[in-house]
Each structure stands twice: as C-alpha cells, then as structure tokens.
Amino acid sequence: MTAMKTSDPTPSGYSRRSHEIAPFHVMSLLARANALEQAGHDVIHLEIGEPDFTTAAPVIAAGQAALAAGHTRYTAARGLPALRQAIAGFYHDRYRLDIDPERILITPGGSGALLLASSLLVDPGRHWLLADPGYPCNRHFLRLVEGAAQLVPAGPATGYQLTPELIDAHWNRDSVGALLASPANPTGTTLDKAQLAALAGAVKARGGHLVVDEIYHGLTYGFDAPSVLEVDDGAFVLNSFSKYFGMTGWRLGWLVAPPQAVPELEKLAQNLYISAPSMAQHAALACFQPETIALFEQRREQFRQRRDYLLPALRELGFRIDVEPQGAFYLYCDVSAFTDDAQAFCAHFLETEHVAFTPGLDFGQHRAHQHVRIAYTQDVPRLQQAVERIGRGLRRWQQR
C-alpha cells in the first residue's frame, strides 16, 4: 500500500518558515549596482548600511598579531574574558555604568545577539512589539524562532518610535516584549533617558521584556545617546562592532543581559554558534585604546558633516524629511510628492543616474511605498555628485 502523500508547506517543499521570511530587498539592489559597476558605470552607493571607512589600523594590527600568535581556536561561548572586561570598561567610561562582565556575551555580529535574545524570550505564536518602519531582520529573526513581530505604525509625530501609549494600545495576550532601536535604522531617530524610562515602565507593567538595539551608539551628533541600562538594569541590550567601531566584515557584536538570563543564553550560544570568531575578538580589544577611540570620534564628526550637507540638499530637491536624524547615517525620506512606488523610483535612479538608495519596502509596511532610505556613507564631494545626479534624475522622472 502506498503511503498517503502529505502536502508540502510550500510549493518548493521547503519550510513555511523559510517561505515567510521576506528577502532583504536592498541586497538585490546592491547586486544590480555591482553589475552596473562591472559594466563600467560609476555607481554612487547610498543603499547599504556600511560605512566607507576601512577598519581602523590599530584593529587590523591587533588582528594580524592574533593570527601570528595562533589565536585561531574556539573561545568560550560567552567570549574572551578580556574583551568582556573591555566592554564593561567602555560602559563605565561612556555611560558611568558598572556592568558586570559576566553579564556580557560576545556574539557573531549584532545579529548573533538578536538570535540569542529572540531564542530566549519568544515562544511559538508569541510576539514583540516593533516600530514600523524598522530594521527588517528584526522581524525575520522572530519568525525564525516561530514567533512574530507585531508591527506598530509609527510616524514623524513620535519620531518613528514606540511610545507608552502605542504599547498600551497594541499589547495583547500574545505580547511578550518590545524591541526598540535608538538610534534607529532607517530613521536615525533616538530616545532620550526620559522616553526610555517611560517605555521601560510600560513594558514592565505588562510583565514583558524590553530589548533595545543600541548598535548605532557612538554615531550621534552633538550628544551621546543614553543607554537603556541607565534607567532599566533588567533590559536586554544588543550592540555591535560594525558601525561606530567600523568592523563590519569581522562579524562581532555583544549582548548585555540580566544576570539570571546568562546561563540560558550561554547554553544557546554553545549550541547555535559555539563562539564568536576568535581572531575578531582579539582584534576588537584594540577598539578601546584611547588612540583608536580618537579615530572613531573623528569619523563621527565626518558623518555629522555629511548629514549636515545632505539633509538640506535633499529637502531643497523636494524630498520630505520630517524628523532630523540625530544618529546613525541614514535619511528616511518621504517621496510621496514624486511617487507612490518607491521601488520603481529607486530603480529609475539606479538605472539612469547610477545612484543607489533603498526603497521603504525593506523597513516595514507603514507607508513603505512612499519612502526611501538614503545612507550618507560616502564623503561630502561624493554626496555632492549624488545630489547633482538626483536632481537631474528627478527632472527625467517628472518628464516621463
């Protein structure tokens, strides 16, 4: 007798989980931009969230020394004790916080920290509240662990951030927490200490967990963003060496967790990835040297100069940017004056003017087709070229 054939979860026979995780649209746009470059075109890349700076020389030297010394084996799952101690020292110097290094887990990028936090805190069918727009991989990681993201539409009136009122309005019996980002991708907006305290109180009153993405800390302009740990020692904090520290390809991040969560997180780390890359961990120790921090601060000033040039230049062209970004290196632009199809709009500029930026579709659903994200990850002369091309491309777009 032939066994009855069950229906596949997807037409391909692969998992429903895989099918329901949307692609990162900016990556296909980047692939097309790279293809245009290979064909001989000069493409200005404003689409990807990667600074144009190379890894700082002291960090490279530390990585080379680690390789020469044979530091190529697994580390402990929580990471090198020296690196966890250095991160704790950084929290003391920058935030005046005394964080026990035992609460810090070193992860493969900020993504590894998000994987640990979502695996620990979200059961199948449960969800976190997330602002829409927001970084797309956040919701995709939740789907990966059979949870979900409750996307909460957030606009300029709230700085594209969640508020206690929005948490109260959208929390339901399946909610187990909220994920905030300050500074946020794609909007660059931040939360001050009072806002963080109010949000922490709202989540705690519901019996939920607060998770805060602080990956763009260090890249704020005119001030240092507060850490949620200044107002809520029980929050989970995601951070990374990719942005302020400029180590994108080294794939290194960290998670700060409440003490009682650490044993469970360590167990997950042991099973999910064993340990973060050992060479990268040794290299990252150089990030906290005074001369390296001074270099990062010089780069921060260059990002501020880029923002201060590009923001008014795009507004003059008719891009609507309702909230001035205080951090990260993005401008989230309302293009509804030109189109209701941001994806076609981005394709037009890439194909005709060879300027690449990202459609809002990657960042959620709330008015996504009327927004684009433009990254100021090129120097000012290059941004000036981009603005000239965008102006020309707008005229062509309107004459179609």
Q: Which among 237, 258, 288 is the end of a domain?
A: 288
| Model confidence band, residue 235 (pLDDT cutoffs 50, 70, 90) | very high
The yes-or-no verdict on residue 400 having pLDDT over 90 is no
The boundaries of the domain holding residue 199 are: 57-288
Task: Tell me, yes or no, whether 240 and 208 share the same domain.
Answer: yes
φ, ψ dihedrals at 247, nearest 5°? -115, 45
Residues 6+ apart with CB under 8 A from 386: 44, 46, 355, 378
DSSP 321-345: --S---BTTEEEEE-TTT-S-HHHH
Chain length of the chain: 400
At position 84, the amino acid (one-letter code) is R
| Model confidence band, residue 150 (pLDDT cutoffs 50, 70, 90) | very high
Q: Which CATH number is 179's domain given?
A: 3.40.640.10
Please indicate, yes or no, if residue 146 is contained in any of the structural domains: yes
Task: Tell me, yes or no, whether 221 and 358 share the same domain.
Answer: no
Please indicate, yes or no, if residue 48 is contained in any of the structural domains: yes
Mean pLDDT of 148-161: 97
Mean pLDDT of 391-398: 95
Mean predicted lDDT score pLDDT of the chain: 95
| Domain tally, the chain | 2
pLDDT digits (tens, 9 = 90+) for 51-68: 899 999 999 999 999 999
Distance CA 153, CA 165 (A): 12
pTM: 0.94
The yes-or-no verdict on residue 21 having pLDDT over 50 is yes
The yes-or-no verdict on residue 327 having pLDDT over 60 is yes
Mean pLDDT of 350-366: 95
The yes-or-no verdict on residue 8 having pLDDT over 60 is no
